[in-house]
Chain A
Amino acid sequence: MARRPLQEINAGSMADIAFLLLIFFLVTTTMSTNTGMQRKLPPPPDNIDNPDEAKVIERNVMVVLINKDNNIAIKGRPIQLKDIYEKTKLFFSNPNNDENLPEKKMKEIPFFGNYPVSKGIISLQTDRNTNYEKYLQVNNELVRAVNDLRDEKAMEKFGMSFDELGKVDKDKQKAVGQVYPLNISEAEPRRIAAGAGK
């Protein structure tokens, strides 16, 4: 008995189906990816071992105030947004071990050995009426200062920037991160007098 030849499936409409799906996904696609500034909130205040409000020596804290008129003050002195960067860098690096800048504590860090790490903390305080954009800009300057310090350190030690280092060796990046920790504390909300930043 002769076998019936296998019938071929007509694939002509395959392209149509695929096109239909393609157009659907084209329409629903949003290529834009969100970008954001990452931050960790302090644990709730009822937590007993809350390090946030632990007593710190004055030279180790840099209080950054933004008042309701969006004026900025660091340690009570008015400052322009563009000057925050240098001030923050100096605060965290303290290259000449100035007595008015944060003290350093020896800490065991992989790849660096015993390294003096700054005990500096930035306390960022805002008024309820402070503009969010201003707050984010100040935040951005603070983060930029720390990121640049990290970049410099990574460049000096490993010959590449902090971000590049993350792609090559996560442990090394982590070590550099420990050399310059991002210590920004957002204190409990409070009212700031209008004159504070003047």
Chain B
Amino acid sequence: MAKFARKGKGGTPAISTASLPDIVFMLLFFFMTVTTMKEIDLKVHIDKAKATEVKKIENKALVKYINIGVPKSKFQSKFGKEPVIQLNDAFASVGDIGPWVDGVRGDMDAENRSKMTTALKIDKNARMGIVTDVKQELRKAKALKITYIADKTTKEVYN
């Protein structure tokens, strides 16, 4: 074995890993700041429409989502194949929107209540009937700021 023993300090010196925690922490903080936890499990399938004139949603805390789409296949036996409303984690009917708005508004800080925006995330194959009903309910509940969720595209929508 002596054959292999080296004299002195030959070979490559070990790379110092002392700065590794710093690097990892840097990455960690980056991801911590950009992370948004997945808010809810969507029980409806939503194929988003495309539009050119859309803006990024700012101030996520003030935006509350109403999802409208066809129930996913495992729920179809119970809820059918027509687009339905999902509020938070559950299926809902049009009449549930008023109380829901009051609920989420109650959870907000007093100064933010008037800034609440309702985001309508609607499947592009839905009909306007259900959308209009939802909008009428929002009007009644005085939740007048809405935003139609759509994916940004640079192509003209009519092509």
Contacts and interface: CB of A to CB of B under 8 A. Distances in A.
A168 interface: no
A9 interface: no
B149 to A, nearest CB: 5
B60 to A, nearest CB: 9
The main secondary structure of chain B at its interface with chain A is: mixed
A26 interface: yes
Contacts, number: 151
Given A28-B38, A33-B57, A36-B54, A130 B128 contact: yes
B49 interface: yes
Interface residues of A, number: 49
A141 B157 contact: yes
B41 to A, nearest CB: 13
Interface string A22-39: 100110111101111111
Given A31-B34, A44-B140, A133-B49, A37 B128 contact: no
Given A25-B28, A28-B37, A28-B38, A35 B132 contact: no
A147 interface: yes
B122 A28 contact: no
Interface centre among A25, A141, A189 (most CB of B within 10 A): A25
B81 interface: no
B53 to A, nearest CB: 4
A141 B158 CA distance: 9
Interface stretch (B5-13, B16-24, B102-110): B16-24
Interface in B136-157: 136, 138-140, 142-152, 156-157
Contacts of B146: 38-41
B56 interface: yes
Interface string B21-51: 1001101100110111110000000000101
Nearest to A21: B28
Given A22-B31, A36-B147, A37-B148, A135 B57 contact: no
The main secondary structure of chain A at its interface with chain B is: mixed
Interface in A125-149: 126-133, 135-137, 139-141, 143-144, 147
A35 B117 CA distance: 13
A78 to B, nearest CB: 15
A127 B17 CA distance: 66
A54 interface: no
A38 B31 contact: no
Closest 6 CB pairs of A and B: A128-B129, A36-B147, A133-B124, A25-B31, A35-B54, A18-B24
23 contacts: A14-B21, A15-B21, A18-B25, A19-B24, A29-B34, A34-B56, A34-B57, A34-B119, A35-B150, A35-B152, A36-B57, A38-B146, A39-B146, A40-B144, A41-B145, A66-B128, A81-B157, A81-B158, A126-B128, A126-B132, A129-B127, A131-B124, A133-B125
Interface of A: 11, 14-15, 18-19, 21-22, 25-26, 28-31, 33-45, 66, 80-82, 126-133, 135-137, 139-141, 143-144, 147, 186, 189
